[in-house]
Homo-oligomer: A and B are copies of this chain.
Amino acid sequence: MTRVTRGAVGLREVAGHAGVSVKTVSNVVNDYVHVSPATRARVQRAIDELHYRPNLSARSLRRGRSGLIALAVPEIDFPYFAELANHVVRAAEAHGWTVLIDQTDGQARREDLVLGGIRNHLIDGVIFSPLAAGPKQLQERTDRVPMVLLGERTTGGTIDHVGIDNVEAAKEAVLHLAAAGRTRIAAIGTQRPRASGTSRLRARGYRAGLRAAGLDYDDSIVMTAKSYHRAEGRSAMAELLDRAEPPDAVFCFNDLLAVGALRAARERGIDVPGDVAVVGFDDIEECTYSSPTLSSLRPDKARIAHLAVELLAGRLADGSGPAQDVVAPHELVVRESSGPVHDHGRTRGGALSRR
């Protein structure tokens, strides 16, 4: 086959144009030290004139590193994941890495692709927030690409993990509600018994919180949510509020559920926090602007992203060593939805509530 340039200008063309060898051009492109200023200038001019750009596929093949990492999340338009992605992109930048988004929809089939190394040798590492995949699938992966898991800690896992203490965080939320005098605290967001992920941990924290507050666990006010979208929170809350004995507080396992719950309350003229307090989880920006503003558990997303990227960096520098498990801090942020009930709030709540 004869040389076909495909119209692309490569090192060779630049070298020819500058009257040097490809190696020298490569040295300039890669900012190597041992290039005389004069040569460097000449090469740089050739690069500019020919609009040369290195072929990253070729570089990646040769170096064995692509400078790409994948972020595999259920849905990029979930505010939590969008905010997290933002932080991951920024943290990755510090290493000169670009982030590639893998949207799994939380489907087992698509998560298996991530675990199976669908993008082998194209990405240097992957940050993975699994929904369907359980500990077994995670252990059995055959892929060699460094991986950092987000979300639930796979007990005894061999894969690096970054997360917050979900049980403790959920417990804090419930204790906060109890301390505010709430005695009938519902939960929205449990999932099918064997579901992996954070829902189980938050449910455990919810029960622990009730216990610590001396409150009884009432299965009838624990609502499952098929997904963590706003619509699910709305319908679950609607069901709770339409009961004969509605709760006086609700702990939602994420903020979208909580926003949906606020909506359901508003539609019924039920005052939050006057009649029912609401606490969410994730502290997405929407919490600060909803009406009422939404109390929430804030995981340190920037920290999580930073830690995940640094763990990857560590694996890339030195693949060996035991799996690490890093716990990022969290914090309860109290806002109107579970804050002190003001007089005018009470009055209005009383006037409007219970239709």
Contact = CB atoms under 8 A, between A and B. Distances in A.
Given A75-B86, A262-B291, A348-B348, A58 B121 contact: yes
A142 interface: yes
A82 B60 CA distance: 29
Contacts of A85: 76-77, 101
Contacts of A285: 77, 230
Interface stretch (A16-24, A26-34, A47-55, A161-169): A47-55
A185 to B, nearest CB: 22
Contacts of A288: 230
A331 interface: no
Copies of this chain present in the complex amount to 2
A106 interface: no
A118 B56 CA distance: 9
Nearest to A117: B53
Interface string A118-138: 111110000000000000000
A212 interface: no
Contacts of A82: 76-77, 79, 82
Given A60-B57, A89-B103, A121-B53, A230 B76 contact: no
A118 B121 CA distance: 20
A120 B66 contact: no
Interface string A100-118: 1111000000000000111
Contact of A86 (B64, B77, B117, B286): B77
A99 B58 CA distance: 20
A76 B57 contact: no
Interface in A132-183: 142-144
Nearest to A351: B348
A224 interface: no
Interface residues of A, number: 58
A122 to B, nearest CB: 4
Nearest to A230: B289
B121 A56 contact: yes
A98 interface: yes
Nearest to A48: B142
B100 A56 contact: no
B89 A83 contact: no
A77 B84 CA distance: 8
Contact of A100 (B51, B100, B120): B100
A8 interface: yes
28 contacts: A8-B144, A51-B142, A53-B118, A54-B120, A55-B120, A55-B121, A56-B119, A56-B120, A57-B57, A57-B60, A58-B61, A58-B121, A60-B60, A61-B61, A66-B122, A75-B86, A76-B85, A76-B86, A89-B103, A90-B103, A99-B101, A230-B288, A234-B289, A259-B286, A260-B289, A286-B286, A289-B290, A290-B290
